[in-house]
Structure 1
């Protein structure tokens, strides 16, 4: 009987790991079970587009059965509720138990609310297709209700957090709100869009000139930035700021932070304060042999000793590297340390506008940067064999 490899999560890291592992190992050498709560892979990096209706839900769903067709990978639909690394077992919500010889944990992250009262209860988040659909339906309902209710807070939108996810969502809002206002017969000057950030500026990690370009682009489309202003409390329809001011808004979206998956913490893996599992140079848990932890679940430090930001390109590189480690676990050989190759970062600012840094020095803005982002997405879809899988 071959090794039983179980992969938890079909996100960027988990799916790439499953595909690559099967390229290296035959079915007689190892069985591969991919556990995921949905029967599709979600393009999480594009959620901001479908959240405002700029892209269809369907285009962000990659059916797992199509991607994994003829790959001899078992797809197990289910929600993981517990990992027992001592017993080498995984428990699912429906009561099933899966045993493994080698485990890959790629369950993604959870939203970090930083203990802000009311934030979890009264703000939308954007970490899944279903959440994006809920937000889109809510925003559309605000415009539909305004001519009947005439409450200005219906036309006030607040995005908390000005990192990558927050700014990309703000950019989509900036493009979509004029269209929604026109369709509802609402004067555009009644619509207000706020981006609230506790840090002194937006888009940490980007060069100052690119940040300035992004700010100018978004401000020209009506975005009101409140930087250096932490949110202290959220009540239904009210955002409280540290300045003492409040914003009455029917739509409050939080994008201000992530933490590791609680299941990883509860399993007893050694983690940092944000719940991210500590791993060795081969992405293996530091306190459980034969368990690899990938993507947003893992704490990966750069050369300066700081955590890499959780990005899709880092996740799929971890998935590809882990497949090689699994190969060596089964067949033997020397493992090479994981060294990320970050090709750059591109942040979209709405339809056909973006800023980005490719490689170490090349910078792009506007439509060119947006095309680079599209090309990066196409490259990923090609890698997993899914260019046409969701059509």
Structure 2
């Protein structure tokens, strides 16, 4: 009879996959059974999805098979969708079965948050996963092909509207300014006929960067054809437009993409966890409040920065560090040792503005602009690949080619 404790990890994003890998490194095979549950048989780099959506990289570059990086002799892979977590019964209900657990790690990622904007969920595309990103790429190209073949094409069909000027929105338009000239050449369409419009309710873009870097980013993107509509609240999203501002101005478009917000997985609320803005505010040791055996990581968790009285930013960098703390604490529980609290080692933030441009603030506030930032962004992306998949995946999928 198998009396080994069972550790079930839900989700193979940055936090979940890293947790499973670190558990195999910190625990001997006889110490625990490890199960990793994921909807797909692959992991995808969430921070690369804007490139897939714009069409500047192939979808397959942004993902790799779980079986290539997880030892099946150490981790049981279950490809299924989580329906509910029954905490009182220590049971996870899946679409095609169920699992019991002794320790549970919830790392189910994010869902789109439209903040109740009328019509947004129904009419806009969102960059959520590989499939949704590929759909955006295909739709944009379809608009070009349709424009070229129609006798009286709609001039607005070549307009691409992007709602939200946070990380994803700005990195997405940065890729679009690279992709649009390629599509114009392919379909013999004048570049001037294509509009890329970024709409943001706040007075500025990229709130995580200082004014100097924000100014550089805006100038760079505007010089390459991006139009910004700031301080412009989106009142409604119709099938082919945004209605914005107090005067209800309508901006028509053939492609509408919402990047303005995400929230934690809705399974959390359905399963009885206390939610704050879609996420669970976890304890310092990454456990859910009141739970001895449930850890919540990544986009599902608010981890408080006690010094500043607010949560740490929910980034891929943080998610990978959540995993380290979680794996160490599960090992500590198995060995009756004291648990550690999460410590965020902030290595900085870098945003791409296309293939050869970007901005960044790294280490002790060192600012980067232009090619140096773009190079650092590729270093960050490659580091993530290496941490999750090792040298094999880095060489196979990494951004190691020169500009």
Task: Give deviations 1:129-148, integer Å, cap 9, x for gaps.
Answer: 00111000000000000023
1:1-391 correspondence runs (5 A): 1-69=3-71, 72-94=74-96, 96-149=97-150, 150-243=153-246, 244-272=248-276, 274-302=277-305, 303-389=307-393
Partner Cα distance (1:252, 1:241) in 2: 14
**In structure 2, the residue corresponding to 1:224 is in which secondary structure?**
strand
Partner Cα distance (2:122, 2:390) in 1: 36
Query: 1:378–1:387: 8 Å Cα contact kept in structure 2?
Result: no
**In structure 2, the residue corresponding to 1:339 is in which secondary structure?**
coil
**In structure 2, the residue corresponding to 1:385 is in which secondary structure?**
helix
Task: Give deviations 1:222-274, integer Å, cap 9, x for gaps.
Answer: 110001101110111121102321111110000001111110111111221x1
How far residue 155 of structure 1 moved from its aligned partner, in angstroms, is 0.6
Query: 1:353–1:366: 8 Å Cα contact kept in structure 2?
Result: yes
Partner Cα distance (2:266, 2:180) in 1: 36
Query: 2:348–2:365: 8 Å Cα contact kept in structure 1?
Result: no
Unaligned runs of 5+ in 2: 398-403
Task: Give deviations 1:195-233, integer Å, cap 9, x for gaps.
Answer: 000011000010110001100100000110001101110
Partner Cα distance (1:257, 1:52) in 2: 19
**In structure 1, the residue corresponding to 2:165 is in which secondary structure?**
coil
How far residue 72 of structure 1 moved from its aligned partner, in angstroms, is 0.8
Partner Cα distance (2:366, 2:215) in 1: 17
Report which stretch shifted further, 183-192 or 99-108: 183-192
**In structure 1, the residue corresponding to 2:197 is in which secondary structure?**
strand
Report which stretch shifted further, 298-307 or 335-344: 298-307
Distance verdict in 2 for CA 1:31–1:334, change over 3 Å:
same
**In structure 2, the residue corresponding to 1:382 is in which secondary structure?**
helix
Q: Give the aligned length.
A: 389
Partner Cα distance (2:369, 2:37) in 1: 39
Query: 1:153–1:249: 8 Å Cα contact kept in structure 2?
Result: yes
Query: 1:269–1:287: 8 Å Cα contact kept in structure 2?
Result: no
How far residue 71 of structure 1 moved from its aligned partner, in angstroms, is 5.7
TM-score normalised according to structure 1 size: 0.97
Query: 1:3–1:30: 8 Å Cα contact kept in structure 2?
Result: yes
* C-alpha RMSD over aligned residues: 1.2
Distance verdict in 2 for CA 1:21–1:286, change over 3 Å:
same
Query: 1:19–1:71: 8 Å Cα contact kept in structure 2?
Result: no
Query: 1:270–1:287: 8 Å Cα contact kept in structure 2?
Result: no
Task: Give deviations 1:126-167, integer Å, cap 9, x for gaps.
Answer: 010001110000000000000233111211010000001110
Query: 2:169–2:259: 8 Å Cα contact kept in structure 1?
Result: yes
Q: What's the counterpart of residue 401 of structure 2?
A: none
Task: Give deviations 1:33-69, integer Å, cap 9, x for gaps.
Answer: 0000000011110011111221111111111001013
Query: 2:36–2:75: 8 Å Cα contact kept in structure 1?
Result: yes
Unaligned runs of 5+ in 1: none
**In structure 2, the residue corresponding to 1:384 is in which secondary structure?**
helix
TM-score normalised according to structure 2 size: 0.94
